[in-house]
């Protein structure tokens, strides 16, 4: 009776014929794979409209989801022993604003170190502190504290990162930071081959790679692309000051005084930490911390311009409440220490940025009340949604392999 209804019979054929066709193929590879779904970046008021997404790695929903798993999968290190698990999520912890945090149980004072090696049985410390991983899609000024990773970069090496026979690799894009993290002694201290083999040995990943890239092939290029796609979706704009600008929230009197100080010649934070509401220009400054300079990874190392000696990127202040320690070397543990430094701790050198115009007075000389107001304003930059949004969080089904 059921099949006598012509319309339904046609419907049945429509379902059955493609199914029969699928089974008649020798394997799934003969079928045209479904195209991944483009990921749509929401346009955010007061945020840049230019997105730094290389055309060879357009963001897709499937790529982002695969990237989220890889970001948090401790086997990204190429090893599956509980003591050798490490992934991006080990040091970029969501609840800590995608940084380590000052009170990390393992990384004392928030200073991470790599997996143990024969040369560094306790793990080699990272040369710099971690940087925030959010809003990177809006940054076209280079990545890392010194901006070495930039589309214009043609150099083929930097201390601690070697190509290891992979001439196809480069130091140009956010994607580069994935392979760099895998091989760096102060991070996963592994090899690209081991990581690729390890990920390829995990059953759940093949269909995920197929969904994201069309085939099940797993290689370092795809691993890097997927993780980077996920990282590009990490956006922080849900903080009180942002809402204030949109006239959706009010600031307290103290926060308002701090806001006016922040955006003034008196405290003068805004010239380096403003522009759009990213709370950074993403530019590089010598902010008068030192009189001598020995770090081989400052901005000068990238540009060879003497005036960039001791200069580093101005980091976003979004979530500065929780993502200490502060500065490239983590020398300040608290926001109070940072404010004290800019108030009365500046030291002159020939390389100081001219925006540090109070350097001859050792700082902007804030009163205790002004310092408290400034801190109150800085606390309005905390985005709690970023810290708890499950779309940015670890996939709990990774279980024991979840990076810790």
Partner 1 sequence: MTLKIKFKHMKRILGILILIVTIFIGCDTAEENIGYGNLVLNFEHKVDNDPASYDLMIYKNSAGNNYEISEVQWIISDLILIGKDNTEWPVGGEDWIHYIDSDLASTLRWEISELIKAGEYTDIRFTFGIKGEKNAPGMFTDPPESNMIWPYHMGGEEGGYHYMKLNGFWLKEESDRTPFNFHMGVGQIYDNENNITGFVQNWFETTLPLPGFIVKNENISELKIVMNIENWFINPHIYDHEVYGGKIMNNQEAMGKISENGSDVFTIEFYDE
Beta bridge partners of 161: 158
- What's the closest the beta carbon of residue 136 comes to partner 1, in angstroms? 14
Window 285-314: contact mask with partner 1 (x via CB under 8 A): ---------------------xx-------
**C-alpha angle 193-197-202 in degrees, rounded to nearest 5:** 155
Nearer to partner 1, 13 or 348 (CB): 348
- What's the closest the beta carbon of residue 392 comes to partner 1, in angstroms? 23
Q: What is d(CA 74, CA 84) in angstroms, rounded to the nearest whole number? A: 8
Q: What is d(CA 320, CA 335) in angstroms, rounded to the nearest whole number? A: 8
Q: What is d(CA 330, CA 324) in angstroms, rounded to the nearest whole number? A: 7
Write the CA distances from 209 to 11, 37, 197, 252, 399, integer angstroms.
32, 13, 14, 49, 20
- What's the closest the beta carbon of residue 270 comes to partner 1, in angstroms? 6
Part of the chain binding partner 1 (CB under 8 A), chosen from 5-13, 71-79, 213-221, 273-281: 273-281
Question: Which of 9, 25, 34, 46 is the binder for partner 1 (CB under 8 A)?
Answer: 46
Q: What is d(CA 149, CA 143) in angstroms, rounded to the nearest whole number? A: 5
Q: What is d(CA 180, CA 84) in angstroms, rounded to the nearest whole number? A: 17
- What's the closest the beta carbon of residue 329 comes to partner 1, in angstroms? 23
For residue 48, state whether it binds partner 1 (rule: CB under 8 A): yes
For residue 276, state whether it binds partner 1 (rule: CB under 8 A): yes
- Report yes or no: 399 and 106 within 8 Å, Cβ to Cβ: no
Question: Which of 47, 230, 312, 341 is the binder for partner 1 (CB under 8 A)?
Answer: 47
Nearer to partner 1, 275 or 395 (CB): 275
- What's the closest the beta carbon of residue 224 comes to partner 1, in angstroms? 26
Nearer to partner 1, 1 or 306 (CB): 306
- What's the closest the beta carbon of residue 348 comes to partner 1, in angstroms? 8
Question: Which of 41, 120, 163, 263 is the binder for partner 1 (CB under 8 A)?
Answer: 263
Task: Say which DSSP state 179 is in.
Answer: H
- Report yes or no: 194 and 223 within 8 Å, Cβ to Cβ: no
Nearer to partner 1, 216 or 260 (CB): 260
Q: List the one residue out of 239, 235, 217 whose CA is nearest residue 226.
A: 217
Window 340-369: residues binding partner 1 (CB under 8 A): 348, 350, 352-360
Helix (H, G, I), strand (E, B), or coil: what is residue 285? strand
- What's the closest the beta carbon of residue 169 comes to partner 1, in angstroms? 28
Nearest-Å Rg of the Cα atoms of the chain is 24
Q: List the one residue out of 273, 126, 269 whose CA is nearest residue 185.
A: 126
- What's the closest the beta carbon of residue 357 comes to partner 1, in angstroms? 4
For residue 49, state whether it binds partner 1 (rule: CB under 8 A): yes
For residue 141, state whether it binds partner 1 (rule: CB under 8 A): yes
Part of the chain binding partner 1 (CB under 8 A), chosen from 48-56, 75-83, 192-200, 396-404: 48-56
Q: What is d(CA 237, CA 381) in angstroms, rounded to the nearest whole number? A: 9
Write the CA distances from 64 to 137, 247, 337, 392, integer angstroms.
13, 32, 38, 10
Residues in contact with partner 1 by CB under 8 A are: 46-50, 140-141, 245, 260, 263-265, 268, 270-271, 274-276, 281-283, 306-307, 348, 350, 352-360
């Amino acid at each position: 009776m059921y099949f006598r209804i012509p319309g339904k019979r046609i419907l049945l054929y429509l379902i059955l014929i493609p199914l029969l066709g699928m089974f008649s193929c020798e394997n799934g590879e003969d079928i045209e794979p479904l195209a991944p779904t483009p990921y749509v970046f929401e346009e955010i008021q007061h945020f840049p409209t230019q997105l730094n997404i290389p055309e060879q790695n357009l963001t897709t929903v499937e790529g982002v989801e695969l990237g989220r798993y890889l970001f948090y999968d401790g086997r990204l290190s190429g090893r599956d022993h509980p003591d050798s698990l490490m992934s991006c999520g080990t040091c970029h912890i969501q609840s800590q604003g995608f940084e380590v945090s000052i009170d990390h149980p393992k990384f004392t004072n928030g200073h991470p170190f790599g997996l143990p090696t024969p040369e560094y049985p306790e793990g080699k410390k990272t040369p710099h502190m971690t940087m925030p991983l959010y809003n990177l899609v809006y940054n076209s000024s280079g990545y890392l504290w010194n901006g070495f990773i930039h589309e214009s970069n043609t150099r083929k090496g930097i201390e601690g990162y070697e190509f290891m026979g992979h001439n196809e690799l480069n130091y140009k894009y956010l994607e580069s930071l994935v392979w760099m993290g895998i091989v760096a002694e102060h991070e996963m201290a592994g090899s690209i081959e081991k990581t690729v083999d390890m990920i390829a040995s995990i059953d759940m990943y093949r269909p995920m790679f197929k969904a994201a890239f069309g085939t099940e092939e797993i290689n370092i290029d795809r691993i890097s692309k997927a993780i980077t796609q996920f990282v590009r979706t990490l956006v922080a704009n849900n903080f009180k000051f942002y809402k204030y600008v949109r006239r959706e929230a009010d600031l307290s009197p103290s926060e308002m005084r701090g806001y006016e100080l922040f955006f003034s010649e008196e405290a003068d934070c805004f010239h380096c930490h403003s522009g759009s509401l990213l709370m950074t220009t993403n530019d590089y400054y010598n902010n008068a911390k030192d009189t001598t300079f020995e770090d081989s990874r400052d901005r000068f190392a990238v540009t060879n311009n003497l005036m960039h000696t001791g200069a580093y990127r101005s980091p976003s202040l979004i979530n500065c409440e929780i993502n200490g320690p502060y500065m490239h070397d983590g020398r300040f543990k608290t926001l109070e220490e940072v404010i004290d430094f800019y108030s009365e701790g500046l030291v002159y050198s020939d390389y100081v940025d001219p925006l540090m115009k109070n350097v001859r007075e050792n700082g902007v000389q804030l009163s205790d009340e002004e310092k408290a107001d400034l801190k109150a304003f800085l606390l309005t930059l905390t985005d709690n949604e970023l810290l708890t949004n499950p779309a940015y969080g670890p996939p709990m089904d990774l279980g024991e392999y979840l990076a810790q």
